[in-house]
Amino acid sequence: MKLRPVALAVMAGAVAAALGATSPAFAADPPAPDEIVDAFEAVLGPVRTHRPSHAKGTCAAGHFVATPDGTRLSVAPTFSGQRVTATIRFGVGVGNPNGADTTRTTRGLAIRFETPAGDIWDMANISAPIFGNPTPRVMVDGLLARRPDPATGQPNAERVAAFVAANPSTTYQGRWLAQNNPPASWATTPYWGVNAFRFKGQDGQVRHARWVFEPRAGTLRLTEEQMRTLPANFLADELRTRLGRGPVEFDMVLQFPGPGDDLVNPTVAWPDDRPRTTVGRLTVTEVAPGPGGACDPISFLQLDQGPGVEFSDDPTLHARTGSYAVSLSRRLQ
């Protein structure tokens, strides 16, 4: 069946309900999708016009073609080797749609793949190799620890400090971001999927893997001076200028775990020397001329594309689809 974005939006509520707290892969005491979005809103206030995470973004479009290795390693329709259309959103990891492009946070690459037969696969990736939360419960607790105190309008510093002391792995991503300045362009950073998935290959074997989209233009980060002086909205203009010269390309690369590598905790990267295989190329050919576009009214739900690309047991992965759907439902109200 061909699923159109509108149909997916209508499904959002049902997906959210179905994915509640019942999946066996969830960690103990998992937050329900509504509780997760409520926690974002406890910090940001009601969010009805934009996303609570990566609130700022620009729509783009292009296509994806799997390599022969990709076709070998996944039986999922996206990896057939046919050209698959890509609806794309490049994001900035801020809670405010007017946040600055120089903010020391992650940048996002969200992609909806759609095969000629209408199979849809959504994913959202970030420009850091690790996530800031080991479990969805810790994410909710961290957000609630940072909710503004009604008396001051600011988070309570003692409450935040106590949360961080109790959950040190929530600082790992911030430490990485402190050592790696934000990208100079949406086209000059790797974007990591961060969560592990199970890839089922043509040989019937199931292999755990994480993916990264490597920029063919190379990695280029802002200098400290550029972080101080560049305009707040430079990223979209830079991408428009760049695409005027030709397409922007990323290689999708799978990384396979070694013995003992953590399959369920996205705050821990796997060592760089783990085997890697290039499974496809994403080619970005268009960018929206201004705000809005095809990526705006949808949510990149982070879908399981079974049997070729299935969710691992990482609880943060299982928390995504339902909470993204609830977030979209609130935007559509």
Active site residues: 54
What is the separation of C-alpha 256 from the centre of its chain, rounded to a whole number of angstroms? 19
Unique residue bearing structure tokens 């990223």: 235
Using rule CB under 6 A, residue 79 touches ligand HEM: no
Residue from 136, 182, 183, 293 binding ligand HEM (CB under 6 A): 136
Judge contact between 184 and 222, C-beta under 8 A: yes
Site string for ligand HEM, 17-46 (x = CB under 6 A): -------------------xx---------
Count the site residues for ligand HEM by CB under 6 A: 31
**Which residue's CB is nearer to ligand HEM, number 184 or number 326?**
326
Contacts of 204 (CB under 8 A, 6+ apart): none
Using rule CB under 6 A, residue 327 touches ligand HEM: yes
| Nearest distance in Å: CB 31, ligand HEM | 8
Q: Which stretch binds ligand HEM (CB under 6 A): 5-13, 71-79, 126-134, 205-213?
A: 126-134
Looking at this protein, which amino acid is placed at residue 92? V
| Nearest distance in Å: CB 68, ligand HEM | 26
Which candidate, 178, 176, 153, 175, places its Cα nearest to that of 164?
175
Tokens standing for 237?
Answer: 């203009």
| Nearest distance in Å: CB 225, ligand HEM | 27
Dihedral angle sign, alpha carbons of residues 268, 108, 253, 299:
positive
What are the Cα distances from residue 289, in Å, to 18, 183, 188, 211, 296?
Answer: 37, 21, 20, 30, 13
Report d(CA 91, CA 107) in Å as an integer: 5
Judge contact between 145 and 155, C-beta under 8 A: yes
| Nearest distance in Å: CB 266, ligand HEM | 5
Using rule CB under 6 A, residue 195 touches ligand HEM: yes
Sites of contact with ligand HEM (CB under 6 A)? 36-37, 51-54, 57, 89, 91, 108, 110, 124-126, 131, 133, 136, 139, 193-195, 266, 299-300, 316, 319-320, 323-324, 327-328
